[in-house]
A = this chain, B = another copy of it.
Amino acid sequence: MSMAALSGTHLLQNPDHRINNFATHSHHSLVTSIRPTGPTSVRPISIKCAAVPTTTQTNDRPQAQTSSPDRVFNFAPGPATLPETVLKKAESELYVWRDSGMSVMEMSHRGKDFLSIIQKAESDLRTLLDIPEEYHVLFLQGGATTQFAALPLNLCKPEDQVDYVVTGSWGDKAFKEAQKFCTPNVIWSGKSEKYTKIPSFSELDQLQNPHARYLHICSNETIHGVEFKDYPTPKNPNGVLIADMSSNFCSKPVDVSRFGVIYAGAQKNVGPSGVTIVIIRKDLIGNAQDITPVMLDYKIQAENNSLYNTPPCYAIYMCGLVFEDLLEQGGLKEVEKKNKKKAEILYNAIEESNGFYRCPVEKSVRSLMNVPFTLEKSELEGEFIKEAAKEKMVQLKGHRSVGGMRASIYNAMSLAGVEKLVAFMKDFQSRHA
């Protein structure tokens, strides 16, 4: 999602930062061996990094390299790194998909081949999230930002009141867009505390409007790194909970039955940009306002199985490959374990730095996906980002509205990548403390 992706160090475009130049960083002074982390073979390369001894304190041996010497560790907030196995699969069948005689990008969206692709993607997603039968799964366009309008247009009359909990920039954007189509109220905002907290549910119970048509939350704020660990219940017995899950979608199991609508742009955890997934309870569709553009009408999209017009076929295909990969990993419980492990070693490195690194987010709501942190010596942040890029760890600059650094460690970021970052952080601290 856009504001979440404003970060961007681009040092990597400078050939000086490619792996064959590592030996030039003479302040690093230890050689580690390489283990491929993916399916592709890689010729051993030695990397100098004084940080390796510290990382041996963690349970896993460090993997100092991506599976391909041409690849970097990409900590971007989205679009974000994708599983290398998925990219290799896509590469292998880009020109001709199976026995279709054509690329997925050339297939009629009404044809047997693409229908098998989109139906398999939906089926696998239903398995991953254990989505009940009474929910539609839609593959739409326009990002979560389009859903900010579609939700009130489909679920509300202009006079209907709805509640928004604003725990970050995305919740705020969702609220502002809703003002065009219904009567939304911000019942809680973390803005005065720089979006570092999430309210207690008992506090929310006091604040909720008992007549609110829905209660809207952003389950993980990409920019600020605050994440709901559980979900509030609407005070209105006829109201529903709606969550923008763009940046933690499919990062852990979720009880879908607690929500009226879950929506997510794909470009963080489940695919490339260009497709937005909407999971909506079937009884909530069919009452769109007259001014609803047909493409934003959930009833039209559901009746046409997301094929009212030509969908973003290739992006849906890529999501399908990611869903297959998540199932092969053992499903979302296993994925959550990996994500917790990655986040744990990174937050621990921050906590154990004696204040050299700092995370502003209240501990109980720190995101497993987006880890913002600052340096006590803020004047070193530029150097930190520059040196990290030289070590092939890119997109670590924090959002301009927050500053500092941010490591986005979505499903596809390997433990090896996080271990390498932690090793680098400890090494950097040892040299600048």
Contact = CB atoms under 8 A, between A and B. Distances in A.
Nearest to A140: B142
Interface of A is mostly: loop
Contact of A145 (B15, B76, B143, B295): B295
A110 to B, nearest CB: 5
B112 A71 contact: no
Contacts of A105: 79, 82, 87, 271-273, 318
A138 interface: no
A370 interface: no
B313 A79 contact: yes
Contacts of A142: 141-142, 146, 295
A99 interface: yes
A103 B82 contact: yes
Interface residues of A, number: 86
A293 B141 CA distance: 13
A10 interface: yes
A315 B145 contact: no
Interface stretch (A185-193, A303-311, A339-347, A420-428): A303-311
Contact of A13 (B6, B113, B290, B313): B113
Nearest to A312: B274
Interface string A170-181: 000000010011
Given A96-B68, A110-B7, A265 B13 contact: no
Nearest to A272: B105
A8 B110 contact: yes
A126 interface: no
A274 B315 contact: yes
B102 A94 contact: no
B308 A2 contact: yes
B74 A101 contact: yes
B273 A108 contact: no
A269 to B, nearest CB: 12
A274 B96 contact: no
A314 B315 contact: yes
Nearest to A19: B101
A79 B106 contact: yes
Contact of A1 (B7, B153, B309): B309
A99 B20 CA distance: 12
B392 A101 contact: yes
Given A94-B91, A146-B295, A314-B272, A80 B106 contact: yes
Interface of A: 1-2, 5-8, 10, 12-13, 15, 18, 68, 70-72, 74, 76-82, 84, 87-88, 90-91, 94-96, 99-103, 105-113, 141-146, 148-150, 153, 177, 180-181, 265, 267, 271-275, 290-296, 304, 307-315, 318, 392, 394-395
